[in-house]
Structure 1
Amino acid sequence: MANYVLVAGARLGAWAWDEVVPHLRAAGHGAHPLTLSGLADKRDVPAGQRTHVQDIVDEVDRHDLRDVVLVGHSYAGIPVGQAAERIGGRLARVVFVDSSVPADGESFVSGLPDGRTRAAVTASIAENGGFWPLVPAAHYEGQGLTDEQIARIVTGSTPHPGATLTEAAVLTRPLGELPVTYIQCLLAGAELSADVATLLTSRHWRLVEMDTGHWPMFSQPGELARILA
């Protein structure tokens, strides 16, 4: 059976997968939720983009995992996509969950869709001591989440280390050559980015849609686990 390394997006930690992990393990799979450096219980660990890539590679090495499915949600798609090529033949598949994808020489911020958004994120990091600050509960509304689920996300989140968002990704092979499932969450509203749409033309990539918002590990954990499995 597969070994899933589960990496949540900005401001989140391994705890975000608490309701997904039991479904995967009940199906006989290994499930390894991962907190990236600088977040949650690792909030005091300095981190840049390369640190987050190494965190993922180290998790695979530490447990000597094979048949690995790397799962990256939102921001985490960027380090997951880089780690995928570094674990070589141990990789079975990458799953991007409504996520950004890495492009060689580009960062999370430089990949944002317009200059105003890029400038706002950069300024926010500078104004908050090098961290991307927390967002209010209203940010999560309209995403298929209950009030209790929103409260859990808000109270569990930690400011995100800014260097991980501004340092450039490094890829040594085309991302379209990796075996990938891209999960698009329809309530999130945005169309697929141009780079994802292009990558989905690869014979190695496939698209799955979920009728929920940007945080399916909270809003539809059982359905997300079913798709992953």
Structure 2
Amino acid sequence: MANYVLVAGAWLGSWAWEEVAAQLRAAGHGVHPLTLSGLAERQGEPAGQQTHVRDVVSEVERLDLREVVLVGHSYSGIPVGQAAERIGDRLARVVFVDANVPVDGEAFEDAWSVRAEITAHGGFWPPPAAGDFEGQGLTAEQVDRLVSGATPHPGATLTEPAQLAGPLSGLPALYVKCLLDGEDPGPVVTGLLEGERWSLVQMETGHWPMLSAPAELARILSDAARVTHA
């Protein structure tokens, strides 16, 4: 069985994975949802981009995990992608769930232009309002969970650049594209999907599938582990 390290995107903590984690555990996997520094129950901890990379690597090493499937959602694809190359032969596969991927020397801000908003809110990216989740396949209850659980995101993690030792194309990777958030994963991911080690799965749901479609996402993640042993 695989060991999953699940990392949610901006503003969120490990709580976002509750339903997915329960289903993966029921299938016999080890599951380790992770809250990154400065978020959720870890609010107040200082965090930059490399802090979040170390959070992921340290969790794998602290628990001495093997056959690791690293899962990064949205923003967290950036630290997870960097962590994937740093854990060596512990890695079975990395899964990017409707995620940004790291580009060496570039930051999240380079694609999303959030610096002005961060500056205006004391160094943090403020969470979305309920209306920002419309059209993403979420129930009113699920939107309430997101709004109530979200915390301001540490700005330095979004403005500091990624640091890659080698090309992402060398990692065994699955990209999960959530179609209600758009069909195009962007030019960087499109290029990576042309390589032999990357594959694509599409979901007919929105950008937060761990809430809107947890059973389907859990199945996709279980399949990702099986592929590594095919």
Q: TM-score, normalised by structure 2?
A: 0.96
What amino acid is the match of 1:89?
A: D
Q: Structure 1 residue 192: deviation in Å?
A: 1.6
Divergent runs of 4+, >3 A: none
Does the residue aligned with 1:142 lie in a helix, a strand or coil?
coil
User: Is 1:126 paired with 2:111?
Assistant: no
Deviations 1:85-124 (A, max 9, x none): 1000000000000000000000001133xxxxx1xx1111
User: Is 1:10 paired with 2:10?
Assistant: yes
Does the residue aligned with 1:171 lie in a helix, a strand or coil?
coil
User: Is 1:91 paired with 2:84?
Assistant: no
Does the residue aligned with 1:12 lie in a helix, a strand or coil?
coil
Select 1:186's aligned residue among 167, 179, 183. 179
Select 1:154's aligned residue among 121, 126, 147. 147
1:69 paired residue number = 69
Looking at structure 1, the residues matched to 67 and 128 of structure 2 have their Cα atoms a distance apart, in angstroms, of 36
Q: In angstroms, what is the RMSD of aligned CA positions?
A: 0.6
Would the aligned equivalents of 2:37 and 2:55 in 1 still touch at CA under 8 Å?
Answer: yes
Deviations 1:43-102 (A, max 9, x none): 110000000000000100111000000000000000000000100000000000000000
Looking at structure 1, the residues matched to 183 and 129 of structure 2 have their Cα atoms a distance apart, in angstroms, of 20
Q: Any gaps of 5 or more consecutive residues in structure 1?
A: 113-117
What amino acid is the match of 1:214?
A: H
Would the aligned equivalents of 2:177 and 2:183 in 1 still touch at CA under 8 Å?
Answer: no
User: Is 1:138 paired with 2:131?
Assistant: yes
Deviations 1:8-50 (A, max 9, x none): 0000000000110111001110000000000000011000000
Q: Any gaps of 5 or more consecutive residues in structure 2?
A: 223-230
Select 1:196's aligned residue among 176, 189, 199. 189
Q: TM-score, normalised by structure 1?
A: 0.96
Looking at structure 2, the residues matched to 191 and 96 of structure 1 have their Cα atoms a distance apart, in angstroms, of 14
Does the residue aligned with 2:32 lie in a helix, a strand or coil?
strand
1:20 paired residue number = 20
User: Is 1:105 paired with 2:98?
Assistant: no
1:115 paired residue number = none
Would the aligned equivalents of 2:23 and 2:218 in 1 still touch at CA under 8 Å?
Answer: yes
What amino acid is the match of 2:13?
A: G
Does the residue aligned with 1:20 lie in a helix, a strand or coil?
helix
1:54 paired residue number = 54
Looking at structure 1, the residues matched to 7 and 179 of structure 2 have their Cα atoms a distance apart, in angstroms, of 20
2:158 paired residue number = 165
What amino acid is the match of 1:192?
A: P
2:78 paired residue number = 78
User: Is 1:44 paired with 2:44?
Assistant: yes
Instruction: Give the aligned length.
Output: 222
Select 2:167's aligned residue among 160, 171, 174. 174
Does the residue aligned with 2:196 lie in a helix, a strand or coil?
coil
